Amino acid sequence: MSEGELAEPIPSIEPKDSFEILIKELCNDLPNSRIQTKKTLLGNIIIFQCFSLTFEIRMLPEYPQIPPRLVCISNLDFPSVADGRDLLPLVLEWTSLSTCKDIILSTPKFLEQNKLQEDKGEFYLLDPVDLSFYSDKPGMLWCYCVEVDPLNENVTRSRALIITHSYFLILEPSKSSNNWGYIVFWASLSGLQSIQKSKHHDDRVLLEWHESIGAKFQVLRTNQAKSIISLICENANKLGSIVQKSYRLDIEENSDKFKVYDILRKIERNERLIETMVDDEKINGLIALYQKAVEHFSGMNDIRYEIYLNKLHGLFTDERVMKIMCSQIKPVQGRRNRVKSMELLGVKEDFSNTKRRSMNF
């Protein structure tokens, strides 16, 4: 983004409001910072230069009740922190006495001590985002899409998504202005377990997140599905992550196996259910689903089988589950109960003597 596109020079007129007073004071006190300003629907912005880099101090409507955001807007080498994230907490500890002048004066020291290719800074839920900010960023992309509820395809939501060098964001588009949105989800690409495109629906993308993100599934509908998958995999691989790109396998309806997608969807639903209530039916159902997932992914030589194997093991370390399972075991019973008892004991011993293999992405 060129300097001329950022803002107009500060007019030499008498200030009319507190923001203009602030700008006039900054220009007088810091003439070498090349202070500029920009007013948007969602707040005022101060733009300044430091070491040939351009930064924005974004003052949201709630300012000064909440701190401003400090964002680098210069195009930087991969992986860049100039992707809309807030750098202010790294530059100074904001207090009620802090000022925008303090931010500008503290930025040089921050740049001397930090590399802007390191994973620093934060995004915040419900923060407003100007989507056009990403239009000219190499290796980044944004587009509108539809989010489909993984458990009910009839439930959809209008969304915008952003892919940066190292992050994935979903926004709720603003109803009052174009190219604006509010962050409703964000996560590091390193937390992505797999990304898949439906074999029969070119506009469907399925994202599966690692347990550190909450083992979340997201289904997005967009005509840029191919570009999204390609860019996510490219950026994630540059970051050193293992992201699996594949087509969803559709198994025949009369097969004894579930469709892979249906298995994962039912697992997520059952996991939610046992968070609030545990009973024999839910436990046995979840065990069966975990076993189907392990069977499928191990047969495909897919590393995700370890995740569901660990989930299965973890189920047998849950005190609530153990209490119900043990209540079913009787000293003298038919063959079925003896087998169940042996399987339970075998899983317990195997898990207690085996360390979980951590997954690095």
Residue 310 CB neighbours (<10 A): 18
The answer on pLDDT for 335 being more than 90 is no
Percent of the chain with pLDDT over 90: 16
Q: What is the pLDDT of residue 9?
A: 45
Helix or strand holding residue 289 (H, E): helix 280-299
pLDDT of residue 358: 32
Spell out the long-range contacts of 51-56 with Cβ–Cβ below 8 A and sequence spacing 24 or more.
51/108, 51/111, 53/111, 53/116, 54/1, 54/3, 54/6, 55/107
Q: In terms of C-beta distances under 8 Å and separation of at least 24 residues, what long-range contacts does 90-93 make, across chains too?
A: 90/114, 90/120, 90/121
Looking at residues 9-35, what average pLDDT do you find?
Answer: 63
- For residues 21-42, one letter each, b for 16 or more C-beta atoms within 10 angstroms of the residue's C-beta and e for the rest, the string is ebbbebbeeeeebebbbeeeeb
- Measured CA to CA, the distance from residue 64 to residue 27 in angstroms comes to 20
Residue 278 DSSP label: -
Scan for tokens 């396998």, then name that residue. Answer: 249
Length of the chain in terms of residues written: 361
Q: Where are the domains of the chain?
A: 3-113, 128-247, 260-352
Q: Which H helix or E strand runs over 348?
A: helix 335-352
Q: Which residue has the higher pLDDT, 304 or 108?
A: 108
What's the CA gap between 316 and 314, in Å, rounded? 5
**Architecture (CATH level 2) of domain 128-247:** Roll (2.30)
Question: CA 160 from chain center: how many Å?
Answer: 13
pLDDT in tens, 175-216: 887 888 999 999 888 888 888 877 777 888 888 888 777 657
